[in-house]
């Protein structure tokens, strides 16, 4: 077994849905490969921590399903490549993030619009549209989920639109990046990438 085959099996093993045959093959690899062994121990710890969190039962097999749903093959390759190129880094923290983000996304299954930012008194919300009026400035990042955003004013930070659309007027000014994310899973992936790049600095 190669290391890149071992990782998905570790997730399945921890979720308790690995077949006996695969599980034996994984164990043989973990005995033979110190780096996978170390990674597996960290994942086990993370898994135990997640299970200890109060009132947050993680459905069996969820992680494997999330990983399976991350679009193939580019993203998955990037994910594995990242894990492989950062062996010393705590895989546990990434694993925890996947678990917690997927759990939070389940909690947010309702269809209401979500607006997040540090400086929301500068925005006007009309129906499903968030408006930054001309001459108004949002200090810091702004995120709109399941809605539209009309930017006539300024954003001193990043604008992120999840499952929605945006329109920038000619008077609009955004100092950071404009990110458009179309699915909740992509959103999780996007957040994971944010964390990855923060680690990589």
What is the DSSP track for 51-104? HHSTT-PPPTTHHHHHHHHSPTTHHHHHHHHHHHH-TTS-HHHHHHHHHHHHHH
91 interacts with Zn ion by CB under 5 A:
no
9 interacts with Zn ion by CB under 5 A:
no
25 interacts with Zn ion by CB under 5 A:
no
Q: Which is nearer to Zn ion, 26 or 144 (CB)?
A: 26
Q: Which is nearer to Zn ion, 36 or 96 (CB)?
A: 36
3 interacts with Zn ion by CB under 5 A:
yes
For Zn ion, the binding residue among 7, 9, 26, 36 (CB under 5 A) is 36
C-alpha–C-alpha distance, residues 120 and 117, integer Å? 6
For Zn ion, the binding residue among 5, 22, 25, 33 (CB under 5 A) is 33
Listed ranges 7-15, 36-44, 60-68, 145-153: which one lies at the site for Zn ion (CB under 5 A): 36-44
CB 151 within 8 A of CB 174: yes
DSSP H or E stretch at residue 170: none
Chain contacts with Zn ion (rule: CB under 5 A): 3, 33, 36
């Amino acid at each position: 077994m190669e290391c890149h085959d071992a990782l998905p099996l570790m997730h399945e093993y921890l979720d308790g849905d690995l077949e006996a045959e695969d599980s034996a093959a994984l164990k043989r690899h973990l005995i033979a490969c110190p780096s996978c062994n170390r990674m597996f121990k960290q994942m086990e710890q993370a898994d135990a921590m997640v299970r200890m969190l109060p009132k947050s039962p993680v459905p069996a097999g969820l992680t494997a399903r999330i990983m399976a749903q991350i679009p193939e093959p580019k993203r998955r390759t990037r994910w594995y490549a990242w894990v492989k190129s950062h062996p010393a880094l705590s895989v546990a923290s990434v694993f925890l993030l996947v678990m917690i983000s997927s759990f939070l996304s389940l909690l947010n299954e309702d269809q209401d619009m979500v607006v997040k930012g540090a400086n929301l008194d500068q925005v006007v919300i009309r129906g499903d549209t968030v408006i930054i009026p001309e001459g108004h400035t949002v200090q810091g990042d702004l995120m709109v989920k399941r809605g539209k955003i009309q930017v006539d004013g300024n954003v001193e930070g990043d604008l992120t639109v999840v499952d929605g659309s945006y329109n920038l007027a000619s008077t609009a000014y955004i100092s950071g990046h404009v990110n458009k994310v179309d699915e909740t899973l992509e959103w999780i992936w996007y957040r994971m990438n944010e964390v990855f790049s923060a680690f990589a600095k």
